[in-house]
Structure 1
Amino acid sequence: MAAPVSIAAAVLATFLAQPLSAGGIASCRPLDTRLTPQRTSEYAQLVADALVAKVRPQEVKVRRFMRSGAWSAVNVSTPVSDDGVMFFRLDGKHQQYKGVWGGWATPDDRAQLIAWAHGIGAPTALAHCFADSAISR
């Protein structure tokens, strides 16, 4: 009987290690959600630079990417913080860190999540995608 548990654990571990795609969420379909190796590297560096605690980019796990116009958000894990969604805005040639959200959300929290994202300046499409992806994780 030990084999099924080991197989199940291996399958779960493999699933959890994969990047999450926001593309399957209806409100995210109009957004660019492609998490390429180049974006993974770029955002790992941006996240490492934004954190107060020192962390190396290779310690940052970028799990989901969402972009609407000049705004982007990434679901990230680091060894020095809880998992969160970090928001950035492209200002000229540089990505500016705008805010981070962390925690668990239920469908009842959707309006509050959207309002929070709007409060940091995120566009409506990204705010909706963020809220729905936070609820679905």
Structure 2
Amino acid sequence: MNRSDTAKTGSPSSESTCVSGQCDHQCHDEVVRSNSKENDNGMNQVFSSTDLTRYEKELGMLCSFQTCYLQCMIPIVDEVCVPEMAQKTVDLVRSFVHWHATDISDWHAVAGHFEALPESCRQIAGVQPDPVLQLINRE
């Protein structure tokens, strides 16, 4: 199904669903590969406050996955949607990913753990450590 078919039926083809699944697998594999050198015990769990290191690792993997998935899905959305809808869809997903990373960043700042915020989440949120907060949190 091409873009005009999608516009007529209002739904993407099973081909686009398959390709979307490819993004899921591709990004999962990429994140796992990039983190394979680290110990992965305790992944995919709920964390207590004493598990902050594992929690940060999980967050880093999540933000890396979201970045990869967003980049992977853009050409797919462009292919299966009319241009106006494609742009709105990409903007919506990009906004959600940014909002999520900003929420995580805000929590880290308020909790005094901003230094522990994974770099992949910082990049999405567009934030860097605040020197004033760093001084306050040293005490």
More strand by share: 1
Larger radius of gyration: 2
Q: Which has the higher contact order (CA 8 A, sep 6+)?
A: 2
TM-score by shorter chain over 0.5: no
TM-score w.r.t. the length of structure 1 is: 0.28
